[in-house]
């Protein structure tokens, strides 16, 4: 008896043997941890023929399926890593791939139980649409139709069992709006002018510091900011009297933004040092951040809440499928 036959016999025997492992879902990441332990032993060169990786109820997941799904990730990882780090990342990818294959089998089984079929015509239409979008696929390859049918089935069962049971109430959207108001705010806006002094070299830094301090003192005595910027600024905006124009919160580097926080219109910062040089900045105008009205962002919030509830419901659904399933990992 060859190894493939032996593994197949073992798998079916284990389904009927009392006391055998009945894997329970402990969450997506719990599965990964379990699988990582099971992936510790590398497959020897003598055992590369197809064999069983996992049993999911009455379905088998074969090594060939795992290798097919894992191939793109392996190629990407081999370009980025080597040695022990490569081996560790490949094992993590293997664990994730097995988890995805198990979940796919469970979803396809759920679709079959619900009688969610995909017609040949739907498959043909999907393939033609993919071609129109520029995807290179061989419509004469039977594997193409099988893969497309499978993907359409998965979409259909998730639509029914997950998205189809979700409703978003207005009260949920209003609560989300109150809890995430910062997300729906227009940022604070500034009209700024600056004088920039650039040290020409490391030795020139002390001289530049002295120039900046002298300019700051002159400004505090009431000298024209625009005039000093025209004469002494090294910035690209010097010819405009140092006017930077409109700047929104988050667009400045943090040290400059921090210097502006407590200032009012007409105020001037102390000397602020950045990699570009020494800055003296004036706030010419300031517009506080404004919150977008609820009615204006209602549709956006509905989409965000629906997405979050979809993710939560998907996890609940998958946990239920795993809890009710016989799953044995042989990888």
Q: Tell me the per-residue pLDDT of 272-297, one tens digit each, with 9 for 90 and over.
A: 999 999 999 999 999 988 999 999 99
Is there a single domain that holds both residue 122 and residue 243?
no
Distance CA 81, CA 83 (A): 7
Is there a single domain that holds both residue 228 and residue 99?
no
pTM of the model: 0.64
pLDDT at 315: 97
Is there a single domain that holds both residue 273 and residue 133?
no
Helix axes 28-38 and 83-113, enclosed angle (nearest 10): 130
Query: Which tokens go with 321?
Result: 């499928």
Is 293 within the bounds of a domain?
no
Distance CA 49, CA 308 (A): 42
Closest Cα to residue 291, out of 167, 174, 184, 133? 184
Is there a single domain that holds both residue 263 and residue 321?
no
Strand extents, DSSP E, 130-186: 185-186
- Backbone dihedral angles phi then psi of residue 84, each to the nearest 5 degrees: -65, -35
Is there a single domain that holds both residue 153 and residue 200?
no
**Predicted confidence (pLDDT) at residue 43 exceeds the cutoff of 70:** no
- β-strand pairing of 189-197 with 327-329: unpaired
User: 203: pLDDT confidence band, cut at 50, 70 and 90?
Assistant: low
pLDDT at 27: 38
- β-strand pairing of 189-197 with 243-248: antiparallel
Is there a single domain that holds both residue 101 and residue 218?
no
Is 130 within the bounds of a domain?
yes
Give yes or no for a contact between 212 and 269, defined as CB atoms under 8 angstroms apart. Answer: no
Q: Which residues contact 127 (CB under 8 A, 6 or more apart)?
A: 137, 139, 144, 145, 148
The residue that leads in pLDDT, 249 or 328, is 328
Is 236 within the bounds of a domain?
yes
Is 308 within the bounds of a domain?
no
Is there a single domain that holds both residue 117 and residue 13?
yes
Give me the mean pLDDT over the 254-266 stretch: 92
Residue-range definition of the domain harbouring residue 35: 3-163+315-329
Is 227 within the bounds of a domain?
yes
Q: Give the CATH number of the domain where residue 201 resides.
A: 3.10.50.40
pLDDT tens digits, one per residue of 10-29: 333 333 333 333 333 333 33
Is 248 within the bounds of a domain?
yes
Give yes or no for a contact between 108 and 150, defined as CB atoms under 8 angstroms apart. Answer: yes
Number of independent structural domains in the chain: 2
Q: Return the H-helix or E-strand segment holding 287.
A: strand 277-287
CA distances from 303 to 297, 299, 306 (A): 10, 6, 5
Query: Which tokens go with 137?
Result: 């696929």
Print the SS3 string covering 16-85: HCCCCCCCCCCCHHHHHHHHHHHCCCCCCHHHCCCCEEEEECCEEEEHHHHHHHHHHHHHHHHHHCCHHH
pLDDT tens digits, one per residue of 162-182: 999 999 999 999 999 999 999
Is there a single domain that holds both residue 18 and residue 73?
yes
Is there a single domain that holds both residue 203 and residue 277?
yes
Q: Give the CATH number of the domain where residue 143 resides.
A: 1.10.4030.10
Is there a single domain that holds both residue 229 and residue 158?
no
**Predicted confidence (pLDDT) at residue 154 exceeds the cutoff of 50:** yes
- Backbone dihedral angles phi then psi of residue 253, each to the nearest 5 degrees: -70, 150
Is there a single domain that holds both residue 245 and residue 206?
yes
**Predicted confidence (pLDDT) at residue 84 exceeds the cutoff of 90:** yes
Is there a single domain that holds both residue 159 and residue 192?
no
Is 62 within the bounds of a domain?
yes
Query: Which tokens go with 143?
Result: 């594997």
Is 243 within the bounds of a domain?
yes
């Amino acid at each position: 008896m060859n190894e493939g036959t032996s593994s197949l016999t073992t798998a079916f025997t284990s389904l009927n043997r009392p006391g055998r492992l009945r894997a329970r879902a402990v969450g997506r990441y719990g599965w990964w941890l379990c699988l990582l332990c099971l992936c510790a032993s590398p497959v020897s060169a003598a055992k590369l023929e197809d064999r069983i990786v996992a049993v999911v109820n009455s379905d088998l997941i074969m090594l060939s399926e795992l290798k097919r799904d894992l191939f793109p990730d392996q190629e990407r990882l081999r370009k980025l890593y080597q040695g022990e780090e490569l081996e560790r990342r490949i094992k993590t990818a293997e664990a994730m791939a097995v988890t995805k294959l198990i979940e796919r089998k469970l979803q396809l089984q759920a679709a079959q139980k619900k009688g969610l079929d995909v017609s040949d015509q739907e498959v043909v239409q999907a393939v033609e649409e993919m071609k129109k979008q520029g995807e290179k696929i061989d419509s004469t390859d039977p594997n193409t139709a099988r893969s497309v049918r499978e993907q359409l089935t998965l979409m259909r069962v998730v639509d029914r069992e997950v998205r189809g049971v979700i409703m978003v109430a207005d009260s949920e959207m209003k609560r989300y709006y109150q809890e995430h108001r910062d997300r729906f705010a227009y940022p604070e806006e500034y009209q700024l002018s600056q004088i920039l002094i650039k040290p020409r070299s490391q030795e020139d830094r002390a001289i530049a510091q002295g120039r900046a301090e002298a300019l700051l003192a002159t400004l505090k005595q009431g000298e024209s900011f625009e005039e000093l910027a025209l004469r002494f600024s090294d910035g690209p905006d010097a010819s405009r009297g140092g006017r930077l124009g409109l700047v929104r919160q988050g667009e400045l580097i943090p040290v400059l933004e921090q210097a502006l926080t407590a200032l009012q219109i007409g105020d001037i910062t102390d000397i602020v040092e950045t990699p570009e040089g020494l800055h003296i900045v004036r706030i010419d105008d300031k517009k506080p951040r404004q919150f977008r009205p609820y009615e204006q962002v209602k549709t956006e919030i509905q989409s965000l809440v629906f997405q979050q509830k979809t993710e939560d419901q998907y996890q609940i659904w998958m946990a239920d499928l795993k809890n009710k399933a016989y799953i044995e990992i042989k990888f």
